Amino acid sequence: MFEDLVKTTAYKKGMPHQRFTFVPHPVWGKPASVHREYIEGKDPITGKPVMQEIIEALTKPLTDEEKKTGFLERTEPRIVGPDTPENLQQLFLKNGWTDGLPIVLPTEKKVAEMLKKTSHRPDKLVGKMRPSPPHEAWEYTVEKVAINAVMAGAKPEYFPVILAIASTGITSLFSSTTSFARMVVVNGPICDQIGMNSGMGAMGPFNHANATIGRAWTLISRNLSGGGTLGETYLGSQGNNLSYNNVCFAENEARNPWKPFHIQKGFKPEQSVVSIFTGWGITHSFGSAKKEFHQQISSLLGSFCPYSSGTSVAGALVLVDPLVAKDLKEVEGFDTKEKLSEWLYKNTLMTVEDYWNSGLVSTFTLPQAQLGVEPFASWLKLPKDALIPRFLSPKEINIIVVGGETNAFWQAGDFRYIGSASVDAWK
Amino acid sequence: MKKGINYSLIGMFLLTSLLFVNALQAEEAKITVLNPLGQPPPIALVPMAPRLGTLDGKTIYIVDVGFTDTHQFLVEMQKVLAERYPKANWIVRTKIGTYFEDDPKLWAEIKEKGNGMIMAVGH
């Protein structure tokens, strides 16, 4: 199952001849008796006995190849071709340089046009990106981002937004067997300047800027970090359809009765900003029997994963149509987004028993509790039926206003906020 | 007669021109584009640690990286190894934190007290 991943990761870490043994998959959820059968059985890839391979790995003398030192450089030519456009489309597809859809071929002329919309030099380093923490990080320049922006079909005026996204170094194709998705929300004057959609259909396939900016991030994540190679740098068992465009849209600031998201995060109204979120999915709560929006939202958030690792915590992102936002403020009394987040934090609870039984909690949070990290260490001592908040703080629950007021609709996703970047810095 | 020869020459000239234009168009249809790939870091080769001639009297650590159910799997592995190779000392240890986190204290202990290590992920 993970042969390619193991071998390419070892190669990239400088150990192309690392000695491995595999057992049948999965190990997770199997009883000890099955684990023993695995150990006493055969490696499903080589067919050799697992025990024999383990002992040979420990005792068989090294070969000359295994003793080698030195460096392996990996460079690619700057130019591809010459060839016909049709052949180049097939080459890009075959090389895994696309998202499976036809691309705009990045001729030098088209890339030069894209580069005109930034004041930065083409050879300026924009950032580094890796598919996930164990993987190596690749570097990329302004020109390389421009190439991928052209491929996505983006217009040159979108380029500062795409550069801002690329500057975060955050991949949209995070490599996990659980199939993550990303979201990018744009705020500030740039949204109207380049014709982004924040109203009706904003999260759907109806706007050129929304579509191509989001797509550019996917191509950047594949090509500028070595990501998206199935079995090696992408392991999502089912994949995530949101990854085609990464839910790229503009917040509806004109019809937002509260502060826009970027202002909540400390930016000024006149600044243009991209904000990045990560999660797994978005859904609605038509099934809720609650009458008021804030109670419906709490009901849906009550099904989201509550994990917390050393580097990230569970979050929720509530996407409300302006009609819903107006109602939440004027009828239900939440005159700021922060007050709504606070209420949701205090009222979206779960039992201690359910918390520790959650799969991701047992993998990521239990080790922290055992090391004495609070509040988890204290939660280990609570009775099973004690109630604790599902989210660690109100800050983990964010609200974005988007939509065209054809329906008092809202959705929510288990998306946590990662960070924001300035678009203006890349003009 | 002269007219017939002239028409043949004109015909040959037109045919040749047509072939030349077609060839030219076929050449012009090829383009170059820019490579979209970023720059991976150079790979520094790490030589493998020398292997043990024998397991007799050796201490081998079996390291659990913390993935769910890996510990149970490795405890079973320890039992089987101890049954088959009783002259070696097999020790199961769990690395601190999640599987992304480093554990320098454990590596120091293994370097000091161990002769080899098996590290495993049970997914």
DSSP string, A18-66: -------S--TT--HHHHHHHHHSB-TTT-SBHHHHHHHHHHSPPPTGG
B19 part of a folded domain: yes
Hey, are the CB atoms on B84 and A11 less than 8 Å from each other? no
Closest alpha carbon to A358 in A323, A403, A306: A306
Domain count, chain B: 2
Q: Give the minimum alpha-carbon distance from B111 to chain A in angstroms, rounded to a whole number.
A: 15
Query: Residue A359: its pLDDT value, please?
Result: 78
CB contact under 8 A, B97 and A2: no
By the 8 A CB rule, do A146 and A111 touch? yes
- Closest approach of chain B CAs to the CA of A140, in angstroms? 5
Nearest-angstrom CA–CA distance, A402 and A183: 13
Nearest Cα of chain B lies from the Cα of A110 at a distance, in angstroms, of 9
| pLDDT at residue A370, rounded to an integer | 87
pLDDT of residue A4: 85
Number of neighbours of residue B1 by Cβ within 10 angstroms: 5
Mean pLDDT of B29-52: 95
Residues B65 and B116 in one domain: yes
**Low-confidence spans in chain A with pLDDT less than 70:** 310
Q: How many H-runs (helices) and E-runs (strands) does chain A carry?
A: 17, 14
Domain containing B19: what range?
1-31
**In 3-state terms, what secondary structure has residue A71?**
strand
* pLDDT class of B2 with cuts at 50, 70, 90: very low
Q: Using CB atoms, pick whichever of B45, B70, B72 lies closest to residue A32.
A: B72
Query: In this complex, do B51 and A367 lie within 8 Å of one another by their Cβ atoms?
Result: no
A-contacting residues in B 60-89 (Cβ below 8 Å): 60, 66-70, 72-73, 75-77, 79-81, 84-85
For an interface test with A, which of B27, B30, B39 has the most A Cβ atoms less than 10 Å from its Cβ?
B39
* The pLDDT value given to residue B28: 62
Record: contact B76-A138, CB cut-off 8 A: no
Rg of chain A on CA atoms, in Å = 24
Largest distance between two CA atoms of chain A: 76
Contacts of A73 in chain B (CB under 8 A): 42
More confidently predicted of B55 and A367:
B55
Residue B11 has pLDDT above 80, yes or no: no
Matching residue, tokens 């070969």: A63
Residue partners of A247: CB distance under 8 A and separation at least 6: A181, A182, A183, A184, A203, A214, A282
Residues in A touching B34 (Cβ below 8 Å): 78-80, 106-108, 111, 143, 147
The pLDDT assigned to A356 comes to: 93
Instruction: Write out pLDDT tens, residues A183-193.
Output: 999 999 999 99
- Nearest C-alpha of chain B: how many angstroms from A277? 21
The residue ranges of every structural domain in chain A are: 3-67, 85-286+414-426
Nearest residue to A58 (alpha-carbon basis) of B115, B85, B19 = B115
What is residue B1's predicted lDDT score, i.e. its pLDDT? Answer: 43
Q: What is the pLDDT of residue B26?
A: 52
Q: How many CB pairs under 8 A join A and B?
A: 199
Q: What is the pLDDT of residue A205?
A: 97
Amino acid at A307: Y
Q: Which residues in chain B are contacts of A74 at CB distance < 8 A?
A: 40, 42-43
Helix (H, G, I), strand (E, B) or coil at A317: strand
Residue B27, pLDDT score: 56
Give the model's pLDDT for residue A174.
Answer: 96
Same domain, B26 and B63: no
Q: SS in 3 state form for A205-238?
A: CCCHHHHHHHHHHHHHHHHCCCCCCECCCECCCC
pLDDT of residue B23: 56
Between positions 15 and 54 of B, the ones with CB within 8 A of A are: 29-48, 50-54
Q: Mark whether B110 and B71 lie in a shared domain.
A: yes
